[in-house]
Amino acid sequence: MKKKVFVAILTLALLAIFVTLSSCGSTAVSAGWAGVTVYGGNLYTVSGFGQLDALTAADGSTLWGIAVDTTPTSSGGFGCSAPSTIVAVYGNLSMSGDQLYIAGYNGKVYTFNVNTRISSSVTLSADDSKPIVGGTVIDQGRVYVASSNGKLYALDATTLAKVWEFKTGNKIWSTPAADDGMVFVGSFDKKVYAVDTATGKQKWSFGTKGAIIATPVIAGGTVYVASFDRHIYALDEVTGSLKWQFPASGQSGNEPREWFWATPVISNGILYAPCLDGKVYAVKTQDGSLVTTFDLGTEIASSPVVVDGKVVVATHDAKIYSLDATGIKSQVLIVDLRIKDNNQSKLTVSSPLSAANGIVYIHGFQSEKIYALNMATGEYKAFALESVSTTATATATVTATVTVTATK
């Protein structure tokens, strides 16, 4: 039942993505749950109103805000000026130097210079109705991003020109992962793929019994894959051969009851995998044996982080927990953000967590705030994402459409 509820929530959010302002002075509907990127003492995220916001990490003061896409719609109606399209962002923003890379649900990839605020964008598919749900990843001068048209793209990080594309058997909502000349991505066709970064050709694929949304985790020559089939797989990075799976074949008693949606994390030889059944499964990376489970009571879609020997996890109902990262069954509720933030009953957390200098950053959905939790002191701060006019910070935007052909 929890899975159905969460999927319904996600579906409603996706339907709200292309909301535009249909009358003068109207307020945009919140959509999207981008993560927070920390760079140079500043915080960057995309709000639910389609605005790229920059704040200082020290006190959360707003540096600037600018619409991700400033392209006006055809008409504002009733004599109003044409509004800009509100672009929802669901994945993490990636950064290389002073360039931010953003994947929009409208099928475009954007890059912003955080110093000059000059931007450019590219539409991945000739059929620009195909959205991007995952985020971008940067590796060796390339931007890797996947689309719900079922294709994985490699773009030049400077020009956003397409280098190659690779087609899977169904839509992709996953953020890719890159390592050692290969890029890895999961698909709704129930497979995870390893693709050669130089050629865009498949190195190997591995089939599961469910769609794969979580980003593959790569460590020590092993690719860890969490699937909707309620299993975790450890695969050889070079060959794709199975090392182990959790639960093991025939194992019963502690098997997950729902999908693995969030991306797991690894600490001290243990993989921590949040599940929509409300539990975090801690399994040994060596053999996949279960160390312990942490029951947090409600579904988990947000990807956790490891900070100072603790695994920090956010549940969908905005409770933040600290789990022991050494295999000991110890969990502590750090803060209930709904209660802490003036009883915000509709506040939820689905965005991936991020951390820097011992501070965990959480982008709250509905509240449109960034929450900063100091893991050493317990200090809590809430930074509001203000609605900032883009008139004074107009960007020079160059938009290019890439027409693509499939790589066999």
CA dihedral 46, 184, 10, 389 (to 10 degrees): 10
Please state the rounded mean pLDDT for residues 108-126.
92
CA gap 213, 215 in Å, rounded: 6
pLDDT-derived band at 326 (thresholds 50, 70, 90) equals confident
Q: Please give the DSSP secondary-structure letter assigned to residue 87.
A: P
Instruction: Output the pLDDT for position 28.
Output: 45
pLDDT higher than 70, residue 74: no
At residue 285, the pLDDT reads 98
Residue 395 has pLDDT above 60, yes or no: no
What pLDDT, on the 0 to 100 scale, is given for residue 85? 72
Show me where the domains of the chain are located: 2-401
Q: What is the structure's pLDDT at 250?
A: 67
Question: What letter would DSSP give residue 84?
Answer: B
C-alpha to C-alpha distances, 110 to 118, 174, 363, 372, nearest whole angstrom: 11, 18, 20, 26
Q: Which residues on neighbouring strands pair with residue 62, listed in sequence order?
A: 55
Q: What pLDDT is stored for residue 391 in this prediction?
A: 35
pLDDT of amino acid 224: 99
Output the pLDDT for position 302. Answer: 96
Tell me the pLDDT band of 126, cut-offs 50, 70 and 90.
Answer: confident
Q: For residue 87, what are its two tokens? A: 């672009």
Q: Beta strand 119-123 with 397-401: parallel, antiparallel or unpaired?
A: parallel
Is the pLDDT at 44 greater than 60? The verdict is yes
Look at residue 405 in the predicted model and tell me its pLDDT: 29
The model's confidence at residue 31, banded by pLDDT at 50, 70 and 90, is: confident
Euclidean distance between CA atoms 272 and 331, whole angstroms: 13
DSSP character string of 253-278: SS--SS---SPPEEETTEEEEE-TTS
Specify the DSSP element, H or E, that contains 368: none
Give the pLDDT score at 406.
31
Residue 27 confidence (pLDDT):
41
Q: Which residue has the tokens 């598919």?
A: 125
Calpha distance 255→34 (Å, rounded): 30
Looking at the chain, the whole-number percentage of residues with pLDDT higher than 70 is 83
Q: What digits encode the pLDDT tens for the residues 254-263?
A: 789 999 999 9
Q: Residues with Cβ < 8 Å from 357, sequence gap 6 or more?
A: none
Confidence (pLDDT) at 346: 86
For 319, the 3-state DSSP assignment is strand
pLDDT tops 80 at residue 184? yes
Q: What is the pTM of this model?
A: 0.87
**What confidence tens digit (pLDDT) does each residue in 153-170 have?**
999 999 999 999 999 999
| Peptide linkage before 72 cis (omega within 30 of 0) | no
Comparing C-alpha atoms, which of 23, 5, 94, 89 is closest to residue 50? 89
Among 189-203, 230-244, 315-329, whose mean pLDDT is lowest? Answer: 315-329
Asked whether 334 and 322 are in contact (CB, 8 A), the reply is: yes
The percent of residues above 90 in pLDDT, for the chain, comes to 73
273-300 mean pLDDT = 96
CA distance linking residue 34 with residue 104, whole number of Å: 10
pLDDT, average across residues 40-60 = 94
- Which pLDDT belongs to residue 49? 86
Mean pLDDT on 246-272: 89
Q: Which CATH number applies to 2-401?
A: 2.130.10.10
